[in-house]
Structure 1
Amino acid sequence: MSADDESFHPLGSEWEGQMEEMLEDTEYDTDLGMEMAKDAMAVTKGDLSEAEFHEKYHDDVMAEFGEDERPTQEAYEEAKAVEEGTFSRMLEKFDGDGEEDRRNVMKKMGAGAAFLGLGAWATVDEPDADPEPSIAAAQEEDDDDGLQWGMTIDLERCDGCLSCVTACADENQLDSGVNWMYVLEFDDPDNEEGTESSLARAAGPAANRLVRPCQHCTDAPCEKVCPTTARHTRDYDGLVLTDYDVCIGCRYCQVACPYGVNYFQWDEPSVSTDDIADHYEEMGMGDHMTDDRGRWVDSRAPRGVMSKCTMCPTRQDEHMGADFRGTTACMDACPPDAIQFGNVNDDLSDPTKYRRNPSRGRTLSALSMPSPDTLEEDLGDADADLESVLEATEELDEETLALMLAVEMTGEHMGEAPEDEQSMIAEYEQEVLDALEVLEDHGLDLEDEEFLAELDLDGGESDAQIVLERFAGAPSSSYQLLEDIGTNPNIQYLGNEPGPRAEQREPTGTGASYEQISYTTVSGEDIDLADNRKDVLDEGTVGWTGGSL
């Protein structure tokens, strides 16, 4: 997990060597792919400008990709029609003589034209132009936060059940060895102490785990090296996606990714596109392959194409219905609610609320509260004092009541949810509000100082926070993976930060590293996993196949 000093790649020299060997098995220039990946990361670090990057690789990319005439007119027309994503942002910078001229340029330049982008045209047409800033640097100057899908992942709540892995594969029909979500376990001699809280103790000792989907970086190196703009960022929500119809499988994105999240589809997928379409139609849902722009960016990739975690764009476009917007398959499936998905730029979204006060988020997830109807029925003719209320119902005890009040006292936007987006936390908050309203209607004075003192809450919000942390603990750290290299990932992690001496555990049959092993989950279920699709095909390994349409 620590980078090798002699390697440009954050995952170290061994990984870099594997990537080089992988490129040597393709029809494309290995040295070019390695050098472009190295310099793409230099751009994100601020050591190289976007314009310098494009100028440096102008001739090599044209020589390698410019004459195969992909994606040419069809891909250009599609990108221009929707006017969204990397391709359209690039075309807006071209100083041509009108629409027809731009079409002719794209015809002539072929696949390599897409890569050239604004950097190359600035070099050719404006040799004295100032260097273009990186995408992330440009966005830092923009006051409009806009919509940006992302996650907060509480690693101290992950129990290693792999529900997120199986749910992702089921929804996207991934073949064995094609994994978009990993749950990695590691040993870290610098971080061996667990959290001390009643919630943590009830869950048992926690392992050092890292949940690793695609980070959907604001300044993604994988996007910079793509010669066809198949790898691109959706303008309206920041998702980093792959257009399967445009990808030529050069695998340069796989080398340039600092996180190791890209996969190549070696053979024909086990499930056909017709079967995927029929499956979701039978469920009364819409298209689970193409997004609102009409680009094929979701579900498993076809043969010879790259894929990775998508953060479920067709859900976000409401193809599965409005109730699925603001959700992902992995988030829905996570039993301890360790994954929070939503608009990371919105103060009311789940990832923002959870990140702002993790102890509160953990408490909301773990609370088992009585329904308002049950509570109202149980209270009946009970007196309006704490002792009488607690004696009248088995559904409520002193700790639960204290936690409910602590949640309310620390909730600046209690019960509020983002517009047009699902919010699990807001639903939990509303349950708390509804239960407290029943208690108030019964006559219990929730603001009485003596009453609050009995629950250790008479000190107000500060005491409330202590109550929450005593129950749920507080994460030992908050960080983004490789945040120092400037990719600006849109996943925030809580707890279990790998130290410089951390090492991934070797597969033992009960670890979460997938290399042709059978993983036994906390529920006792065996899941056959494979790490590499090519190994599955070469060795004829019979393993877990994800979904079952």
Structure 2
Amino acid sequence: MSADDESFHPLGEEWEGELETMLDDTEYDSDLGMEMAKDAMRVTKGELSEAEFHEMYHDDVMEEFGEDNRPTEEAYEEMQAAEEGTVSRMLSKFEGDGEDSRRDAMKKMGAGAAAVGLGAWGTVDDGEPEAAVADTQQQVEEPDGTQWGMTIDLERCDGCLSCVTACQQENQTDQGVNWMYVLAFEDDTTEGGSPAPDVRGGMDGYNMLVRPCQHCTDAPCEKVCPTTARHTREKDGLVLTDYDVCIGCRYCQVACPYGVNYFQWDEPQEATEEEIADQMGVEPGEEGDHMMDERGRWVDSRAPRGVMSKCTMCPTRQDGLMGDDRIGTTACEEACPPDAIQFGDVNDERSDAHQHGEYPSKSRAIIDIVRNVPSPEAIDGILSEDDDLESAIEAFEDDEDDDLDRELVSIMKAIEIVSDREEPPEETNDTILEQEQTVLESVDALEEYVDLESEDVLAELQLGDGSEDDANLRLRQYAGVAGSSFKLLEDIGTNPNVTYIGQNPGPNAEQVDGPVAYDDIGQTDDRKEVLDEGTVGDAGVSL
């Protein structure tokens, strides 16, 4: 987006124009949709309270749709109660939850300018933020409950588009309805598509961006939906669309900063819900049909004619309706050959998404070596008690089924040094800690025969004195130093639940042809003409 671009939308003026044209094709008020989207983003930025936003548009929404079931209604009702002099009584119920809960309630109500009003700055005479108020802005609430999300390692992405194909096949979406979108880009920091960091599994010469729905904790698309079709699922934070409730007004499409929404103009080209269920040998709505979530709401698979759709992060999987072995997985993650996509509960430190985001070098190393690590049983069968490192490696050279070399031992030992030996979660299919346990068990077995703690052996394994710092350095040498960690358009305040590792696209980033074209895999990139024209503010590339 250029400096003189007057658009409210992060994707720029041209994108905004495209959206307005799309709204003109519906039977609903285009101007109302554009203005609501603009102000919904003001809400996420903290420039407007939810209560004020609801009040601003309530009459217009009622006139246009005959109902106003936006989730901002609760904040509006609380504000009304406060104006009637009951603010103290209402806020008292938050006292037991601490000041953070009290302040959050006041923000939604739009009450108490001294605490959060006027953009939550609380300026003093010299124009500087008051210390007490400024400090509160840095407080972060403790995670509460499950929040599904992803860590996507762009330095491992090879642009194969396997995730795009897997998503399309599992959800039966039409060609061009790419809930998962992968693009290659260049900008003035990577002129000419200069090589990406040398990471195992990555694609040299390309900078990649993988763009599913961000499943924002504070989603502006939800704030503009008059029918509750677009909603955040309470139990796990997934932002979903109820196809039975959606009226196709497309307001969510305009309010989304990331451009992830699709409108189904015609009857889907793929199978109907009955046909999908029949293919799976179940009745529509039964377990396994990949359509209805555990609440009985149609929020998964492709959309019927006249409604909106987007990436769902596979709620029927997360509900166990496709089997317990798929809880904590997505189709795109399963299909990714270089394991660039790590899905999980971002509030759980044991999840794949958290582990890969916080310890990327260790996580990458585990992913790369786990298939080659000899089992404890193999180690017991090959080694003897008087082996040293050299003889142990030689013993494995004579074995046809298992291999062991210095580099593998070095990385296994480095992982063991930095590991907290944390148990993986039992309720979801998180694999990184499970794979780490596999490595640790083999290291423990190996150390029954070989001394891996002596100064000479540690030096031979390039592990210095065996400290965590030396082990982390060895892992970075092997698996690469993770580039920047970022979230797309984080400054807008939507609190996205997708974290990226790798090259952060700059304000001048442009899409270029990737290593694999959509046409090459039988997919359609219907949006490329639009994508080539705009960029994502100062936080990212055309989406």
CA root-mean-square deviation = 2.8
* Cα gap change, 1:282 to 1:437, in 2 (>3 Å): farther
Deviations 1:221-264 (CA, angstroms, capped at 9, x unpaired): 00000000110001111000001111000000000000000011
Contact kept? 1:4, 1:11, Cα under 8 Å: no
- Residue in structure 2 matched with residue 419 of structure 1 by the alignment: 426
| Paired residue total | 473
- Residue in structure 1 matched with residue 533 of structure 2 by the alignment: none
Residues in 1 aligned to 2:498 and 2:288: alpha-carbon distance in whole angstroms: 28
Residue 460 of structure 2 aligns with an amino acid whose one-letter code is: E
Pair 1:529-2:524 in alignment:
yes
Pair 1:393-2:388 in alignment:
no
**Is 430-439 or 341-350 further displaced after alignment?**
430-439
Residue 116 of structure 1: CA displacement?
6.5
The 5-angstrom pairing of residues 37-48 of structure 1 reads 37-48=37-48
Residue 433 of structure 1: CA displacement?
1.7
Deviations 1:397-425 (CA, angstroms, capped at 9, x unpaired): 101110011111112244x2123011110
Residues in 2 aligned to 1:491 and 1:438: alpha-carbon distance in whole angstroms: 38
* Cα gap change, 1:119 to 1:356, in 2 (>3 Å): closer
* Cα gap change, 1:4 to 1:448, in 2 (>3 Å): farther
- Residue in structure 1 matched with residue 157 of structure 2 by the alignment: 158
Residue 267 of structure 1: CA displacement?
1.2
- Residue in structure 2 matched with residue 52 of structure 1 by the alignment: 52
Residue 11 of structure 2 aligns with an amino acid whose one-letter code is: L
- Residue in structure 2 matched with residue 264 of structure 1 by the alignment: 263
* Cα gap change, 1:437 to 1:256, in 2 (>3 Å): same
Residue 309 of structure 1: CA displacement?
0.4
* Cα gap change, 1:128 to 1:485, in 2 (>3 Å): farther
Residue 251 of structure 1 aligns with an amino acid whose one-letter code is: R
Residue 391 of structure 1 aligns with an amino acid whose one-letter code is: E
Deviations 1:154-179 (CA, angstroms, capped at 9, x unpaired): 00110001111111111111111211
SS of match in other structure, 1:390:
helix
SS of match in other structure, 2:519:
strand
SS of match in other structure, 2:522:
strand
Paired-residue identity, %: 59
Contact kept? 2:240, 2:312, Cα under 8 Å: yes
- Residue in structure 2 matched with residue 468 of structure 1 by the alignment: 475
Residues in 2 aligned to 1:62 and 1:204: alpha-carbon distance in whole angstroms: 51
Residue 112 of structure 1 aligns with an amino acid whose one-letter code is: D
Pair 1:320-2:322 in alignment:
yes
* Cα gap change, 1:271 to 1:375, in 2 (>3 Å): same
Contact kept? 2:220, 2:256, Cα under 8 Å: yes
- Residue in structure 1 matched with residue 113 of structure 2 by the alignment: none
Pair 1:117-2:73 in alignment:
yes
Contact kept? 1:149, 1:237, Cα under 8 Å: yes
TM-score of the superposed pair, with normalisation by structure 2: 0.81
- Residue in structure 1 matched with residue 239 of structure 2 by the alignment: 240
Residue 5 of structure 1: CA displacement?
3.2
TM-score of the superposed pair, with normalisation by structure 1: 0.80
SS of match in other structure, 1:281:
coil
Deviations 1:493-518 (CA, angstroms, capped at 9, x unpaired): 0111001221122xx58565xxxx52
Residues in 1 aligned to 2:25 and 2:220: alpha-carbon distance in whole angstroms: 22
* Cα gap change, 1:3 to 1:50, in 2 (>3 Å): farther
Q: Decide which of 341, 344, 353 is 1:342's aligned counterpart.
A: 344
* Cα gap change, 1:413 to 1:285, in 2 (>3 Å): farther
Contact kept? 2:28, 2:64, Cα under 8 Å: yes
* Cα gap change, 1:532 to 1:278, in 2 (>3 Å): farther
Pair 1:16-2:16 in alignment:
yes
The 5-angstrom pairing of residues 436-475 of structure 1 reads 436-441=443-448, 443-457=449-463, 458-475=465-482
Structure 2 unaligned segments of length 5 or more: list them: 88-104, 110-115, 117-136, 398-402, 531-543
Residue 226 of structure 1 aligns with an amino acid whose one-letter code is: C
Residue 489 of structure 1: CA displacement?
0.2
- Residue in structure 2 matched with residue 481 of structure 1 by the alignment: 488
Residue 353 of structure 1: CA displacement?
0.9
Q: Decide which of 501, 505, 509 is 1:494's aligned counterpart.
A: 501
Pair 1:225-2:224 in alignment:
yes
SS of match in other structure, 1:393:
helix
SS of match in other structure, 1:43:
helix
Residues in 2 aligned to 1:267 and 1:32: alpha-carbon distance in whole angstroms: 25
Residues in 1 aligned to 2:381 and 2:54: alpha-carbon distance in whole angstroms: 70
Residue 373 of structure 1: CA displacement?
6.0
Contact kept? 1:375, 1:393, Cα under 8 Å: no
Deviations 1:104-139 (CA, angstroms, capped at 9, x unpaired): xxxxxxx3345662244456666557796359x99x
Residues in 1 aligned to 2:278 and 2:155: alpha-carbon distance in whole angstroms: 39
Residues in 2 aligned to 1:247 and 1:357: alpha-carbon distance in whole angstroms: 40
- Residue in structure 1 matched with residue 437 of structure 2 by the alignment: 430
Deviations 1:19-56 (CA, angstroms, capped at 9, x unpaired): 00000000000000000000000000011110110111
Residue 446 of structure 1: CA displacement?
2.5
Contact kept? 2:183, 2:514, Cα under 8 Å: no
Residues in 1 aligned to 2:378 and 2:364: alpha-carbon distance in whole angstroms: 23
Residue 118 of structure 1 aligns with an amino acid whose one-letter code is: E
Residue 297 of structure 1: CA displacement?
0.6
Deviations 1:330-355 (CA, angstroms, capped at 9, x unpaired): 11111111011101011111111111
Deviations 1:363-395 (CA, angstroms, capped at 9, x unpaired): 111114243167336624584200001111130
